[in-house]
């Protein structure tokens, strides 16, 4: 008599609506592509720009489904209204973020406020807005923030940035606890240094490259493709029991 086999949960996202913020380039764009490939109808969102429309057009041109939404997450009132009118979204990936690096003794108020405004305040109320749309319709969902390995360690010149990412981990855990019984999962993805247009400045600094290559145990920097499967996993039923946690895609940076 043969044993009945357990079935691997589906990674497919057919029939799901996804919102990807910060989707006009880099990790955000790659996340949108990954979700679209898995069958989701994806709204790509960022501040209005030709690149945002290009992103949607490219995804549609490949035979998938995407539309573009102009969204500035520092304007929390506008974000709340837009998501209420365009949602509900089964899936959120927030890849919007700002980094202004420098010695802690040199941090000025303006830079501190700018980074916290996007990375913490904007992220918080974006999560809230998407969750409200789901709760009002008694829908389950998967919400994720692209955080950073710096949510778990410190780094030279990164006191402000690391502080914002540590904050997102606390927000994520608390929201996961509050919304768990409603079937809304909340997680972060914590990449190491990923090669994108935004990180080219770091990679052009020999001292930083030496630091990075010593810390990443797999011996290479990350590519956006390294994040894509993590996004699909957390968005799908494959991760149905995963909430309030950080998925580290960091090449072993935080292992020590």
Does domain 17-248 fall under CATH 2.40.37.10? My reply is no
Is pLDDT of 7 > 90?
A: yes
Helix axis angle for 76-86 and 123-136, nearest 10°, is 30
| Catalytic entry in 165, 210, 215, 217 | 165
Position 256 scores a pLDDT of: 79
pTM: 0.96
The length of the chain, given as a count of residues: 256
57 tagged catalytic? no
| Per-domain boundaries in the chain | 17-248
Task: Express each pLDDT in 67-105 by its tens digit.
Answer: 999 999 999 999 999 999 999 999 999 999 999 999 999
Of 167, 97, 94, which Cα lies nearest the Cα of 131? 94
| pLDDT band at residue 199 using 50, 70 and 90 as cut-offs | confident
The mean pLDDT of 211-235, rounded to a whole number, is 94
Average pLDDT over residues 104-119: 98
> What percent of the chain shows pLDDT beyond 70?
100
Out of 161, 181, 210, 215, pick the active-site residue.
Answer: 161
Q: Is the confidence at residue 205, as pLDDT, over 90? A: no
The yes-or-no answer on residue 51 being catalytic is: no
- How does pLDDT run across 173-195, given as a tens digit for each residue? 999 999 999 999 999 999 999 98
Residue 196: what pLDDT? 85
Residue carrying structure tokens 């309030």: 244
For 5-27, give one letter per residue: b (16+ CB within 10 A) or e: eeeeeeeebeebbbbbbbbbbbb
Whether 156 shows a pLDDT value over 80: the answer reads yes
Closest CA relative to residue 164, chosen from 145, 181, 186: 145
């Amino acid at each position: 008599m043969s044993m009945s086999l357990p079935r691997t949960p589906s990674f497919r996202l057919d029939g799901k609506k996804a919102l990807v913020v910060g989707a006009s380039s880099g990790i955000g764009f790659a996340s949108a592509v990954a979700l679209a490939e898995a069958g989701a109808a994806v709204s790509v969102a960022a501040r209005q720009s030709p690149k945002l429309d290009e992103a949607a057009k490219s995804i549609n041109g490949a035979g998938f489904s995407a539309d573009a939404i102009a969204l500035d997450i520092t304007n929390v009132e506008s974000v709340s209204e837009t998501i209420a009118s365009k949602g509900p979204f089964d899936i959120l990936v927030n890849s919007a973020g700002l980094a202004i690096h420098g010695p802690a003794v040199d941090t000025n108020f303006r830079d501190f406020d700018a980074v916290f405004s996007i990375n913490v305040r904007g992220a918080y109320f974006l999560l809230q807005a998407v969750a409200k749309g789901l709760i009002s319709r008694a829908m389950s969902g998967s919400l994720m923030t692209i955080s950073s390995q710096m949510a778990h360690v410190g780094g030279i010149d990164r006191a402000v940035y690391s502080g914002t990412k540590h904050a997102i981990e606390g927000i994520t855990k608390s929201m996961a606890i509050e919304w768990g019984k409603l079937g809304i999962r909340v997680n972060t993805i914590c990449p190491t240094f990923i090669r994108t247009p935004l990180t080219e400045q770091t990679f052009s600094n020999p001292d930083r490259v030496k630091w990075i290559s010593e810390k990443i145990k797999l011996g290479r920097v990350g590519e956006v493709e390294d994040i894509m499967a993590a996004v699909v996993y957390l968005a799908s039923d494959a991760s149905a029991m995963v909430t309030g946690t950080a998925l580290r895609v960091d090449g072993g940076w935080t292992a020590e």
